[in-house]
Amino acid sequence: MLPAPHFIAFNPPRRILMGPGPSDVYPEVLAAQARPTVGHLDPLFVGMMDELKSLIQYAFQTKNEMTMAVSAPGSAGMETCFVNLVEPGEKVIVCRNGVFGDRMRQNVERMGAIAVLVDNEWGTPVDPAAVEAALKAHPDARFLAFVHAETSTGALSDAKTLCALAKQYGCLSIVDAVTSLGGVELRVDEWGIDAIYSGSQKCLSCVPGLSPVSFSPAAVEKLKNRKTPVQSWFLDQSLVMAYWTSAGGKRSYHHTAPVNALYALHESLRILAAEGLENAWQRHHEMHLVLRAGLEKLGLNFVVAEDYRLPQLNTVYIPAGVDDGVVRTRLLKDYNLEIGAGLGALAGKAWRIGLMGFGARRENVSLCLRALEEVLS
């Protein structure tokens, strides 16, 4: 028999999370998660799930029936959209302007479909003209996929224009809103988005590990008319929705839902709804302006041009001669402050400073600027 390991309870410090996510979690959300666990088919719990669905619909600004939270992080939301809609051999136009666009490509190729790549330089948004050229060159494409807010660079793409183009050329749109939801304008129905996924740990300031998703009626039609079964049992929406809807008063077991994490998501979306979406977008913008002024005073330059810069994810070049690791370690050790390292092509070259959800507030901005000033001097 192996000897029993003896450890003390894990008790993390209270960090200030100003990286690319997870963001600072609302205290009310942490408290909600600590409430007593009930059964995942308890009538009180399924009543809460109905409210949660309405809250997700509000956050996405959609009336889509097929709206729920995948019991796994944003990557599973991404996979849910691709695996349910795309069939082997189908063509998907995939826009790549950072790390997460390339993850979309990998999803497409792993399911035996064909990815047609539209590449844009890192730090720039997806170019609608390049997308239109690809749509024209590939009239057999069935989908257009892109990342609304590219977390690896901090660039915001014009989802409204891109989805209109998809519609014009007979494609369904698949949109990554992991970092955009709750932080910048996003209107699923008005913009005609067909499949969208997000993450709980960014501008919703919830605990990580859940992915709100939504499918338009046209996407649901595509799913219903598949010629091949969805290759993932767990992510098959037609099975999962039997748990997420109580049509005819029946709700059946699909998997054991992460009950307490769903309390947390309910609470974070309730806080968002109480603030009002547009107020939340405005708050992110205002806090970004304060942070931007301070960063510029410190002589730090933004990677992304102002016109398409994400307020919730500020990417700045690391000044010449400054050691990335040393600075981030000191921020963490001396100030309990986490900022993000550069990702992919920007690794070692940039910092990513998040102002997401509960983190988009004045005291965080002030602390970050003061800490950076002290460490850099």
Ligand X SMILES: Cc1ncc(COP(=O)(O)O)c(C=O)c1O
Q: Are 365 and 287 in contact (CB under 8 A)?
A: yes
Q: How many CB atoms lie within 10 A of CB 250?
A: 8
Tell the smallest beta-carbon distance from residue 340 to ligand X (Å).
Answer: 10
> In terms of CB distance, is 191 or 335 closer to ligand X?
191
- Of residues 340, 343, 342, the one with CA closest to residue 328: 340
> In terms of CB distance, is 304 or 371 closer to ligand X?
304
Q: Determine which helix (DSSP H) or strand (DSSP E) holds 147, and give its type and residue range.
A: strand 141-147
Tell the smallest beta-carbon distance from residue 160 to ligand X (Å).
Answer: 18
Tell the smallest beta-carbon distance from residue 34 to ligand X (Å).
Answer: 22
Binding stretches for ligand X (CB under 6 A): 20-21, 73-75, 78, 100, 147, 151, 176, 178-179, 199
> In terms of CB distance, is 156 or 280 closer to ligand X?
156
248: left (phi over 0), alpha (psi -120 to 50) or beta: left
> In terms of CB distance, is 202 or 251 closer to ligand X?
202
> In terms of CB distance, is 176 or 194 closer to ligand X?
176
- Of residues 1, 63, 330, 19, the one with CA closest to residue 179: 19
Tell the smallest beta-carbon distance from residue 313 to ligand X (Å).
Answer: 8
> In terms of CB distance, is 85 or 369 closer to ligand X?
85
Sign of CA dihedral 20, 151, 220, 51: positive
Tell the smallest beta-carbon distance from residue 308 to ligand X (Å).
Answer: 15
**Which residue of the chain is nearest ligand X when measured via CB?**
74
Tell the smallest beta-carbon distance from residue 198 to ligand X (Å).
Answer: 9
Bridge partners, residue 313, by sequence: 354
CA 279/CA 285 separation, integer angstroms: 10
Please list, in sequence order, all residues whose beta carbon lies within 8 angstroms of the beta carbon of residue 26, skipping any fewer than 6 positions away. Answer: 205, 206, 267, 268, 271, 357, 358
Buried/exposed 9-42: b ≥16 CB within 10 Å, e otherwise: eeeeeeebbbbbbbbbbbeebeebbeeeeeebee
Tell the smallest beta-carbon distance from residue 262 to ligand X (Å).
Answer: 16
The pair of three-digit structure tokens given for residue 166, joined into one six-digit string:
């998809």
> In terms of CB distance, is 80 or 179 closer to ligand X?
179
The amino acid at 245: T
